[in-house]
Chains A and B, each alone.
Chain A
Amino acid sequence: MMRGKPVIGVSEATTLMFVLLLSRIFLAHIVFIIDAAANAAWMVPIADTIMALAALYLLVAVLKREPGLNLAETGERLVGPYINTGFSLYYLVVFVAGAGLTLRQLSERVLSGFLPDTPISLVSSFILLGSLAVAYLGPEAVARTARFLVSVIVVSTLVLIIMTVPLWQTNAMYPLWGNGLPGILKGIVNNTGDFVYILLLGFIYPFLPGDRALSIGFWSVAAMGASMFIFVLVAILVFAYPTVSELNNPTFEVARMVNLGRFGQRLEILFLPIWMFSNLVFLSISLYAGSSVLATLSRVTDNRPFLFSAAVLTMVVAFMPQSEPQAARWTHIFISRYSFYILVGILLALIGAGLLKGGGKDDGRQNL
């Protein structure tokens, strides 16, 4: 691996992070936000974005201590190999479990929406194989793919949203506070993990130019927050509460609702590229990050030999849930609900260790 040399541009890194974070919107995830906060669910992404930006600041503060090293390597310098192994296993679980559960949900959606007669093993295998091929080419290739696809994703998304405007019911915004403040707080607290993938910044950090990590993180998190806000709001405006809370995949259903006269129908075809591209980028980068963690744990400099093991682990996780609802529920519990707090705990521990240890290569005391 070529470290210390910027090989991922700012725009590529920003879009990569953005697409990675965004992919969660296109699965069942939104449903859990709406379940808690009802029609006031649009407030949740706003609050969670602010929390994610605070965590991002902590992450960048840790990373700045050891320029040229990824988060796992920095952790080893700060807390030693034993504690850091625990932290690294957490990173591995986030990437591999997230990828596995996403792979399962994605495959199930393909089956229930488009290819009902195709065996799920075949669908999962081909999705994983494609992601693996891209991950093998390295983070630069994934980042450039994300940079290229982001325009397709953004334009398709905007077109879809504009076409749903005639379906919006403004009265669906009321009662304004949904299930009340407790419901909104529950939504905020239980969905912070939507932003846990800021963790990726910790693993592409060595490839980023200069001190742009904070800027890259900020714009990707802000764009993700804005996108989630828009998608939650549009789903509520189109389907209204309580109907919206019944849906398995509100974003997909929004696309199915577009009906512009006799010929402007069945436009979920526009949704497909957004859905598949973002999830394939997600899987590719998760495999890359998972293999990077494994490489760091094994003290090997090249992550590629570990890509296949990360893929096998991903496939194993994908088939652990018995059903799609269970996969969605596990994603919510393990990724959305708890993972962010563990990350913040790790980052605070690393910052604490850094303060105790004194300055790093880049004047850690000033940075921390």
Chain B
Amino acid sequence: MAGKTFKIMLVLLLLLSLPGCYNYNEPDEIAWVLALGLDRGRENILTVTAVIAVPKDIAGAGGGEAASGGGSQGGFFTVSLEAPTLLSSLELLNAVVDRRVNLSHTTWFIFSRELAEQGINRYFAPIARFYQFRRTSHVVTCEGRADEFLTRGRPVMESNVSKYYELLQLGWKYTEFIPRDNFHTFYYEAHSIGVAPVTFLAALEKDERVFPDNSPKPKGEYEAGRLPRRGGGKIELMGAAVYKKGVMVGTLDADELGIRKMFNNTFKRTIMDVPDPNHPGKFIIMEVNPRTGPDIDISIDENGYPVIKVHLRLEGEVISIQSGTHYETPENIGIIEAAVEKKVMKDIAVTINKSKELEADFFGFGLQAKKLFPTWPRWEAYRWDEKYPQADIEVTVDYRVRRTGLLHEMAPIR
């Protein structure tokens, strides 16, 4: 009997361990940090800005209701601290935030352009090592200061600022101008030979005019901070910042980023304004999708420089023909296809030139070139980054019109 009682007591004792009381934390006693911004410090090395969720505002707003007012700035508040390192600032946060700060839901890491141009290598380490961070979070480079960006970057349609950040970056699936890259890809590419990493490029809406006149400009020339607009959310996410050895060396506009996505097989869809070959000043508006992944063939010429041949297969749909010309007929459809190919080839030439000017292989051709080398020592000895600017890159584009929308032809306007 005594033995039985002992066993029952032992089982009950073991049950006590299940809830893990030592680490018990009520969710409403935690301050969830949704984004972290890093700027060059004003009173210390860094200014670290944390976006902290205010759950009662998020819950009170109801599903889909936009964030508004309240005691905070609409579902969140920001705290900026001057600190020598990222993680020391997070401990300091507990001096001004009543709840225990937790980083497991951090979605964005924002680096100001000023800091990015000085180099951000040293800030990777805690993000990769500290258990609360996740490699699935995203790295953003913002024009101007990150503290201002985060404080003013309030959602318009969402009550949850974390959802706002996530939905913004999910635009990579249906636009050409948002990269798919997350912290993991950035970190991996930053540590690899043969590829230059990129981050999202973001900016706050500018009050002043971006362009002085209304001359035609392809929308692909825009990038964050250079997007002519009025209204909407304050944050613009468009284009990418290119890094080399942890230092930001340049930016990619929408079209350039689209070409990068086509080459590294993360491209999904874009809408392209193609100049009408028979009607100057008018556009054919096309949807462009990948037909298959790119064929990339890399070899080394007799001088030891890379020869890169890329064949892109694209397809798409006619969305609009401003001139009203019957390009939809089988005998004319080739005109549209050729026009799209010409436009894409032009963008490709510009983008390749930029990558060579920056001496940064942001297409990741080097990752394919690795296949030519049997071992790491041989691959490292080749010094891809030095050879890439002299690479001979040949690209061919094959675009097919698959559909013509809801119309098979347009009657002229009389």
A interface with B by C-beta (< 8 Å) = 38-39, 112-119, 122, 126, 129-130, 169, 171, 174-180, 239-243, 246, 253, 256-257, 259, 262, 265
Contact = CB atoms under 8 A, between A and B. Distances in A.
Interface in B233-272: none
B371 interface: yes
Contacts of A253: 135
Interface of B: 14, 17, 20, 22-23, 128, 131, 134-136, 163, 166, 170, 182, 184, 187-188, 191-192, 367-368, 370-371, 373-379
Contacts of B131: 112-113, 116
Contacts of A112: 131
B375 A243 contact: no
Contacts of B188: 239-240, 243
Given A112-B131, A256-B134, A265-B136, A177 B370 contact: no
Given A115-B22, A262-B166, 8 more contacts: A117-B22, A177-B374, A180-B374, A180-B375, A242-B192, A243-B187, A243-B188, A265-B136
Chain B interface, >50% SS class: helix
Given A115-B20, A118-B20, A177-B375, A242 B368 contact: no
A175 B23 contact: no
A172 to B, nearest CB: 8
Nearest to A238: B184
Contact of A118 (B22, B170, B184): B22
B14 A243 contact: no
Nearest to B10: A133
A126 B17 contact: yes
A180 B14 contact: no
Nearest to B137: A259
Contacts of A39: 376
Contacts, number: 75
Given A117-B22, A130-B14, A175 B128 contact: no
16 contacts: A113-B131, A118-B23, A169-B367, A171-B367, A171-B370, A174-B370, A175-B370, A179-B376, A180-B374, A180-B376, A241-B376, A243-B187, A253-B135, A256-B136, A257-B136, A265-B136
A178 B135 contact: no
B375 A246 contact: no
A38 B376 CA distance: 8
A259 B368 contact: no
Contacts of B182: 259
B196 to A, nearest CB: 15
B339 to A, nearest CB: 33
A117 B128 contact: no
A178 B367 CA distance: 14
A115 to B, nearest CB: 4
B14 to A, nearest CB: 7
Contacts of B163: 262
Name the residue in A118, A242, A243, A253 with the highest tally of chain B Cβ atoms < 10 Å from its Cβ: A243
A175 B374 CA distance: 5
A70 B220 CA distance: 75
Nearest to B163: A262
A236 B384 CA distance: 22
B22 A119 contact: yes
Nearest to A130: B14
A177 B372 CA distance: 11
B135 A256 contact: yes
Contact of A175 (B14, B166, B170, B373): B373
A176 B378 CA distance: 11
Contacts of B20: 115, 118
B142 to A, nearest CB: 23
A256 B371 CA distance: 29
Nearest to A256: B134
B2 to A, nearest CB: 18
Nearest to B364: A171
Contacts of A241: 376
Contacts of A118: 20, 22-23
A179 B375 contact: yes
A114 B25 CA distance: 12
A114 B20 CA distance: 10
Name the residue in B134, B170, B184, B373 with the highest tally of chain A Cβ atoms < 10 Å from its Cβ: B184
Contacts of B192: 240, 242-243
| Top 9 A-B pairs, shortest CB-CB distance | A118-B22, A174-B370, A180-B375, A115-B23, A259-B136, A171-B367, A174-B371, A175-B373, A243-B188
B166 A117 contact: no
